[in-house]
């Protein structure tokens, strides 16, 4: 039976990946959202889904701020928050065993009822479901939470999903199940992913252009195959693919690149950079 613990997930990141002081963190995120809003192109409507990076706020914060500026002020019921599990766990699809996440900005409740429904849908479709984990060290989901807390209207709940698989059939089933379970008018999907890792700037930009070309083409299988083909990288390619399959079910017709940068643009070290992108998936 799918169960969660009646506890709040302790943050392994506060005070390290982002400020531990609530006022300092809120001011920093608000500033990044304001700067991001100034970069936004005209959008034809509210995004169905977003791509946002998940490095420390110093590094990818400007790009994440641009992504979440596209939904600033929006009221949603649920955010399906998809990302990679960077640590070694055997199950292919993980979620939290806790009933809420916490940041210095407050508690973000987990939609445990929706996770149970998603688990059942995946069991029916694949014969495998979600594996809850307690006190996980994963940063890919937590780094999006302060932005969601400052950008969205209060009251949303999250469906946290972390992937250890890049099997297309599994990720397509996740995408279809999310699209059926959620409502594009009232819910949001966020795919958390960085792009290429530790290449010189020019190489990183070439690899990232190819990955973004596939994302902007709404091509989930292309996203998954890019690394095998030696064409591009994204640590969250599973999350990107599942999000794209869900968004296509919701009628997505286009995607817009909102911002792109590398860690070198922050640090000045262009010898070994990490790529970051903000993308809006639209009708």
Q: What is the CATH number of the domain that holds 171?
A: 3.40.830.10
Q: How confident is the model at residue 187 (pLDDT cuts 50, 70, 90)?
A: very high
Average pLDDT on 189-203 reads 98
The answer to whether residue 17 sits within a structural domain is: yes
CA dist., res. 2 & res. 97, Å (int): 9
Question: Is residue 4 included in any domain, yes or no?
Answer: no
Query: Residue 2 — very low, low, confident or very high, per pLDDT cuts 50/70/90?
Result: low
pTM for the model stands at 0.97
Structure tokens at 206: 């070439």
CA distance 63 to 258: 8
Question: Does some domain include residue 62?
Answer: yes
CB atoms within 10 A of CB 137: 11
Provide the domain limits for residue 67.
10-282
Interval 53-77 mean pLDDT: 98
- Is residue 163 in a domain? yes
Q: Is residue 2 part of a domain?
A: no
Tally of structural domains, the chain: 1
Would residue 5 count as lying in a domain?
A: no
Does 216 reside within a domain? Answer: yes
Is residue 55 a part of any domain in this protein?
Answer: yes
Residue-wise pLDDT for 124-157, tens only, equals 999 999 999 999 999 999 999 999 999 999 999 9
């Amino acid at each position: 039976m799918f169960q969660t613990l009646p506890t709040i997930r302790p943050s392994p990141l506060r005070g390290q990946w982002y400020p531990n002081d609530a006022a300092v963190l809120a001011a920093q995120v608000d500033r990044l959202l304001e700067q991001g809003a100034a970069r936004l192109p005209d959008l034809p409507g509210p995004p169905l889904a977003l791509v946002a990076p998940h490095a420390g706020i110093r590094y990818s914060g400007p790009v994440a701020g641009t992504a979440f500026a596209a939904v600033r002020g929006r009221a949603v019921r649920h955010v399906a928050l998809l990302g990679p599990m960077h640590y070694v766990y055997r199950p292919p699809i993980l979620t939290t065993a806790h009933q809420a996440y916490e940041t210095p900005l407050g508690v973000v409740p987990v939609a445990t009822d929706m996770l149970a429904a998603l688990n059942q849908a995946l069991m029916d479709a694949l014969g495998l479901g979600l594996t809850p984990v307690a006190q996980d060290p994963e940063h890919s989901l937590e780094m999006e939470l302060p932005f969601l807390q400052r950008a969205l209207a209060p009251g949303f709940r999250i469906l946290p999903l972390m992937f250890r698989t890049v099997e297309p059939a599994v990720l397509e089933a996740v995408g279809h199940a999310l699209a059926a379970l959620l409502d594009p008018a009232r819910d949001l999907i966020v795919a958390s992913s960085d792009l290429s890792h530790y290449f010189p700037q020019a190489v990183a930009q070439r690899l990232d252009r190819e990955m973004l070309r596939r994302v902007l083409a709404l091509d989930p299988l292309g996203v998954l195959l890019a690394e095998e083909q030696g064409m591009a990288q994204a640590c969250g390619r599973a999350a990107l693919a599942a999000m794209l399959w869900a968004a296509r079910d919701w009628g997505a017709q286009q995607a817009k690149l909102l911002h792109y940068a590398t860690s070198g643009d922050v640090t000045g070290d262009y010898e070994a950079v990490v790529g970051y992108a903000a993308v809006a998936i639209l009708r």
